[in-house]
Structure 1
Amino acid sequence: MRFAAIADVHGNHLALEAVLADIRAQHVERIVNLGDSFSGPLEAGLTADLLLPLDALSVCGNHDRALIDRPFDQMGDWEKPSYPQLSQMQLDWIRALPFSAVLNDEVYLCHATPKDDNSYWMETLSSEGIFHLKPRAEIEALAEGLDFPLLLCGHSHIARAVQLSDGRLIVNPGSVGCPGFDYDVPVYHKAEAGTPFASYAILEKTALGWQPSFRQVRYDNVSMANLARRHGMTDWVSALSSGWIE
């Protein structure tokens, strides 16, 4: 069994195009999508045009939920540019997304954690806002009761794999379309991939267990940074240009 996992496209249709081309070049046919597909100052509608026909097994992210669970005037600055670009059919597709899903009875999918779509599974924040790996016991506590050898999540935008003490593997494929962000809850912090590339992962079941292969794909990130600049979102400009938040 071999498939690709994508997450956190955030309306970056050029990054998604490049990732889908790379997936085809790796002769992978099955794709799962871990959510947060559209929100941001980029091209939500064009992203939906690419994503929906894939018939990928998809789950709902916190930013997907924010497009459908509140009035427009209460949406955040990532949703307000993207919501008007989406058709009623595309919004209905988001409404139908499950919180979590299971692939072939052995791969668990969620956006952030099994309990919450807006918290980090493998990362934590120090009181100084430093973004780092959680202790394994805390990661394992969130995996309690999930009897699957492979667990997938997104949300942090950082590609990472953690093997639990019982051999289960948690994988975050990184972000296809948004390689960095800053946020002030619960304290100010930055997540930075360190490159502007589009990230995803290929997962393969081998005789020794699940093998993740993390892939970074170059694309025309400058055009996307310029689009974010036209929307006045300087943090996006920085992330899309370099993978860092300046």
Structure 2
Amino acid sequence: MSETHTILVTGGTGTLGRLVTERLRAAGHEVRVLSRSARPHAVDLRKGGPGLDAALAGVDTVVHCASSPRGGDEDAARNLVAAAGRAGVTHLVYISIVGVDRVPLPYYRAKHAVERIVERSGIGWTVLRTTQFHDLVHQVLATLAKSPVMPVPSGVADQPIEVAEVADRLAALAVGAPAGRVPDMGGPEVRDFADLARAYFAATGRRRPLLPVRLPGKTYRGFAAGGHLAPERAVGKGTFEDFLATRPA
């Protein structure tokens, strides 16, 4: 019989964390879910507190999925690492993003800073970087499509990946030994953003003229240069069209 673990998943009610939790529980592990609203472990990681210590009591592995583009990730990571050290956690698994060290988007910089906090924690650690989830690309396209003329970033490609495949990988890493920085995961195809927009319209039956837009600044240049892509790690299987086929038009 394989070894069972007591695992805490931060952000365990989110798009990725929920799937990781399901996979680990299905494999027979004891899994606790921590988020700002999940009972009995409703904790704001940015503030820490005794609730965090209680959630970590007896835990051997933490899968850190909680994150917010609105800020606070670094404070949350420091609080988590400190509490995990007190609890005797032996493995900290962190999900990051391809390009956090190449594209100067503030959110990416914060994710890169959290990587360094994890690496210097004194706890055995594993970091997995992936390209953007299909869900995020769909959300961006749906927002842009609200305009009668849809702006699309000129010269920018993406490499979306199926979140369920990332959850499979993250769950496997969680029950293994600390592995440091593991190989990146990229989606199966690098696609021009306009091409992804056309796929979105084909699936939803909508039409919009596309307006290529080029923006100033280092962040845009980083995306245009493909800093967020991992074409050499196109290990994902599900395409954007596969994802769209599962959603109601």
More helix by share: 2
TM-score, normalisation: structure 2? 0.33
The structure with the largest alpha-carbon Rg is 2
More strand by share: 1
Greater relative CO (CA pairs within 8 A, separation 6+): 1
